[in-house]
Amino acid sequence: MRNGSVQRQAFFKVLVANRGEIALRVMRSARRLGLGVVAVYSDADRDSLHVRQADQAVRIGEALPAQSYLNIPAIIAAAKASGADAVHPGYGFLAENEDFAQACKDAGLVFIGPSPQAILAMGNKAGAKDIMKKAGVPCVPGYQGADQGDEVMLAEAKKIGFPVMIKAVAGGGGRGMRLVADTASFPDALRSARSEAKAAFGDGSVILERAIQNPRHIEIQVFGDAHGNAIHLGERDCSVQRRHQKLIEEAPSPAVTSELRAKMGEVAVAAVKALRYEGAGTLEFLLDERGEFYFMEMNTRLQVEHPVTEAITGLDLVELQLRIARGEPLPVKQQDIRFSGHAIEVRLCSEDAAHDFMPQSGRMVRWQVPDDIRVEHALQSGSEIPPFYDSMIAKVISHGASREEARGRLIVGLEQLVAFGVTTNQAFLMSCLRHPGFARGEATTAFIGAHRDELLASRKDSASDAALAGLLLYVTNPHAPSWRSGRSLAATFPLPVKIEIGGHAHELDVRRERDGSYVVAAGEQTHMFEIDQLVSDAIRFRHAGVMDTAKFYRDGDRLYVQHRGLPLAATDLTLAAPKLAAANGGDGKVRAAMNGRVVAVLVRPGDRVTAGQPVMTLEAMKMEHVHKAGIDGVIAAIDVAEGEQVTTGRIVVEIGADQATS
């Protein structure tokens, strides 16, 4: 399945058919090879960094992916308008779409990736498994038949035996994937998986697989060229996941021996050669507790986690893609590949880990990254995080001589990174990296589920954090006396301050002492602070005999603080009216928990519902989120329609009292 002849046409300008950090990453390598770069953007990304840093940029449509980044004619037209002669798809969106690869070829554009035939063969999970079985590669037992009827799917699931995995035939990244424990929950999981897959990839078809309990997720990076050469670059361990989406990836895997690496690599290279595959690809396997591995799928593109492979091999994987697309042979042979040290990557996502990893959108008011660690991002202070795309906003990658060194460097890098304004999983990632199980290299795909409570546990010094937040809200109030006033002032009367951190309210009293120090009281606990320096975004202070620092940003009644490496956000409720039960739907009104699109209305007017019953499903950042009734009652009104885009807090369903029982 060669993508044209070895004598490829030369190209000099590359259009990157993607957005954000992905686009910037590709542009960096393209420019290093002397190539011009073109960005495309939706209305939501008009002011994005990847747009401003490209040589040229072309608008391709409205905010929703289907109207922009999945719009093949618009992207081809953008390439023609800009004079680009090659297209790099990045990862996600159209990266594994054979129609897009073919459209590029038909338009006379070089597609920087495998041939349309290879994408079709391996990008479809069902077809890929058939090919691998014929090649003698062990596969997970399952069903990948053409009959997608509900009754057939349920019958096949029963044959396989629960628990089973439902997986979207097209695409990846955890979208359209559901773990189903029993027969009763299968129909709803099937509907949800199909809906999510259709929205993300334009294809609602799914396959079924036996769920292998507590495996490791191991993938092998491969490359093939137009001259028949193929290599592998070792494995990556991607076992730490939430919602079947990777959060932490590392290379090499703590569980893979040199013998197992050679065996898995040999299988992967044999598959690439059998396909006569050109470009970057990844074969993904499940590794069970006995050391047996099973093929899951092949990603016919670059992976999000490719930087860890770059770190341990010293190779630029995007450069390899570009060279292969120009018809050049692979510059290295298998025996030339050397692995140096250990690398770990974390995905920084705009999501609230404490609330089931709910996606977050909004304005990143302050963004700072450390200088001595690799951070892939497309953000700056003031950037908007739109609700229409994946929640990953950055990747932080460390490399060390040993796994422990890499882990330590990554923790320090995350401690120094500042992301104020949008809730992220920064603290959760640090909890994962610090967990003894991860530190020992024992994490499987069950890691987050098994240790969720520990990973989400409140900080041990939460009382001190609340006191510091109360102090900062007090001293940054424009009407507060200057902290520089010195010792001559009389002590002030205690000022009550009420704040909320992570859903917990704290009632404090803040008092200025004669000597210029501050006392923050919370019930019977008191905390004394001496301010040494206070500037617009940082404070240096003494507390409990220790000189300490914190970064902060105040945005009206909202305060963001980074203290001892961990972020927190506090809301000043001192002058706020008491919260109503409305916040939890106790007033009978179900409100949208995020900006998103209505994908399913699960009730009708007049239906009786009970508290906790699902009533509506929204999709945000490519994931579905079920909204539930807050009270028992009868559906009085449905205020939105399927397909409608809604904003956070909008009333979507109204529930009234059940007259029959009242």
Non-local CB neighbours of 450 within 8 Å, separated by 6+ positions: none
Residue type, 588: G
Query: Is 385 within 8 Å of 350 (Cβ atoms)?
Result: yes
Non-local CB neighbours of 168 within 8 Å, separated by 6+ positions: 125, 175, 176, 177, 193, 196, 197, 200, 201, 203, 204, 205, 206
Alpha-carbon dihedral 156, 162, 167, 169, rounded to 10 degrees: -20
Q: What is the spatial distance between Cα 253 and Cα 218, in angstroms, rounded to a whole number?
A: 8
Q: What is the DSSP letter of 139?
A: B
- The terminus-to-terminus CA distance of the chain in angstroms comes to 69
Closest CA to 296 of 354, 358, 246: 246
Distances (CA, A) of 155 to 208, 212, 340: 11, 19, 49
Tokens of residue 384, six digits = 């908007």
| 3-state helix vs strand vs coil in the chain, percent to 5 | 30, 35, 40
List the Cα angle 367/370/374 in 5-degree steps: 105
Choosing from 301, 409, 512, 597, the catalytic residue is 301
Radius of gyration of the chain (CA): 27
Going by their DSSP bridges, the two strands 206-210 and 142-143 should be labelled as: antiparallel
Q: What is the spatial distance between Cα 92 and Cα 289, in angstroms, rounded to a whole number?
A: 31
Alpha-carbon dihedral 223, 203, 356, 213, rounded to 10 degrees: -60
Closest CA to 292 of 164, 140, 165: 140
Three-state secondary structure string covering 6-28: CCCCCCCEEEECCCHHHHHHHHH
301 is catalytic: yes
Tokens of residue 655, six digits = 């529930």
- Return the bridge partners of 343, or none: 251, 399
Tokens of residue 190, six digits = 């099937």
Helices (H), 33-71: 49-53
Alpha-carbon dihedral 134, 138, 142, 145, rounded to 10 degrees: -20
Closest CA to 631 of 587, 578, 566, 579: 587
Please report where in the chains the tokens 């990143």 appear, as a residue.
364
- Return the bridge partners of 88, or none: 16
Rounded to 5 degrees, φ, ψ at 629 are -65, 140
CA max distance for the chain: 86
Non-local CB neighbours of 342 within 8 Å, separated by 6+ positions: 250, 251, 252, 312, 399, 400, 401, 402, 403, 405, 406
Q: What is the spatial distance between Cα 366 and Cα 363, in angstroms, rounded to a whole number?
A: 9
Closest CA to 19 of 306, 384, 417: 384
- Return the bridge partners of 203, or none: none
Q: Which residues are catalytic?
A: 301
